[in-house]
Amino acid sequence: MLDRALRDASPEEVIATALRAVGRDRLALVSSFGTESAALLKVMADVDPAIPVIFLDTGWLFAETLAYRDSLIAVLGLRDVRSVKPSQAAVDATDPDRDLWFSDPDACCRIRKVEPLARALQPFDAWINGRKRFQGGARGAIAVVEDDGIRLKFNPFANVSRERVAAIYTEANLPPHPLAASGYLSVGCMPCTSRSAPGEDARAGRWRGRAKTECGIHTTSLSPLAGRGSG
């Protein structure tokens, strides 16, 4: 079993194994280009900078995140970053007034993240993401390799420490996310992201005041049928 074999492997080894297992054309990395994303993207680029990278452009992202994406593409020499947007038909039908994030954030995440990612992942047999156990909550016990139903899901940073992530930034002289210095320790969509207070969990600023802690891409089936729905 891959998870058992990679349980103590380095992020580089995990990504290299994923690449050998399915091939570049069938492997994708999904990145938010958030506050910790550059570390995973740097490791991936060292293994193969041409691995496809999927970026969900939800329509609610900070301008700083979009600029950061473009900056990291240049700095790391990423060769295949695919910005994926939600179906305009789904947005028009479900969120015509752009207030769904307030009335039903799960539905907002579904049309802006879950469904677009399900469509984007259809050509792939495996995907890589940047979740880490130290982020807590539902992420506290994630495996290095998961069976995502119809494809493999690799979590190269699952057992990496916060200190190691910071060290990768320092060693590679990676630029920080522009909002990190302002107290945004985890950055998602503008309406559902706030600053974290000193001592708070890094993801405390996401969906503040709600029981919601995940957007759904890691807790919802990403089968082809999930991606059709409303377009």
* Every domain of the chain and the residues it spans: 2-221
| pLDDT over threshold 60, residue 218 | yes
Do 174 and 38 touch, CB atoms closer than 8 A?
A: yes
Compare 134 and 187 and report the one with higher pLDDT. 187
Q: Output the pLDDT for position 113.
A: 94
> How far, in whole angstroms, is CA 62 from its chain's centroid?
15
What is the number of other CB atoms lying within 10 angstroms of the CB of residue 205? Answer: 20
Query: Residue 54 has what DSSP assignment?
Result: E
- What was the pLDDT predicted at 227? 38
Whole-number Å distance between alpha carbons of 231 and 229: 6
pLDDT for position 20: 97
Token pair of 57, please? 């452009």
Which one is predicted more confidently, 51 or 218? 51
Residue 176 pLDDT > 80, yes or no? yes
* pLDDT at position 208 over 80: no
Does residue 231 carry a pLDDT above 50?
A: no
pLDDT at 221: 60
Residue 184 and residue 29: Cα distance in Å, rounded? Answer: 23
pLDDT in the model for residue 213: 66
Residue 105 has pLDDT above 60, yes or no: yes
Separation between Cα atoms, residue 117 and residue 110, nearest integer Å? 10
Torsion-angle region of 187 (φ positive above 0: left; ψ -120 to 50: alpha; else: beta) = beta
- Alpha carbons 29 and 7: distance in angstroms, whole number: 19
Predicted local confidence at residue 136, as pLDDT: 65
pLDDT exceeds 90 at position 212: no
Rounded distance between C-alpha atoms, residue 61 and residue 226, angstroms: 23
| Predicted confidence (pLDDT) at residue 229 exceeds the cutoff of 50 | no
Q: Over the chain, what is the mean pLDDT? A: 89
108 in active site: no
Maximum mean pLDDT: which of 24-33, 142-151, 213-222: 24-33
Cβ neighbours, 10 Å, residue 67:
13
Amino acid present at 171: E
What's the pTM? 0.88
Q: Residue 121 and residue 219: Cα distance in Å, rounded?
A: 15
Any idea which residue has 């993801």 for tokens? 203
CA 205 to chain centroid: 16
pLDDT exceeds 80 at position 52:
yes
Tell whether domain 2-221 is in CATH 1.10.3720.10.
no
Select which of 108, 189, 192, 215 is catalytic.
215
Burial grade of 78 (CB within 10 A; 0-12, 13-18, 19 or more): buried
Indicate the pLDDT class of residue 223, thresholds 50, 70 and 90.
low
Write the pLDDT tens digit of every residue in 61-90. Answer: 999 999 999 999 999 999 999 999 999 999
| Region of poorest pLDDT, from 90-94, 120-124, 220-224 | 220-224
CA 107 to chain centre: 18
Angle at 118 between CA 65 and CA 193, to 5 degrees: 30
Q: In what order do the strands lie in the sheet with 145-147?
A: 81-84, 53-56, 27-30, 126-128, 152-154, 145-147
Report DSSP state, residue 116: H
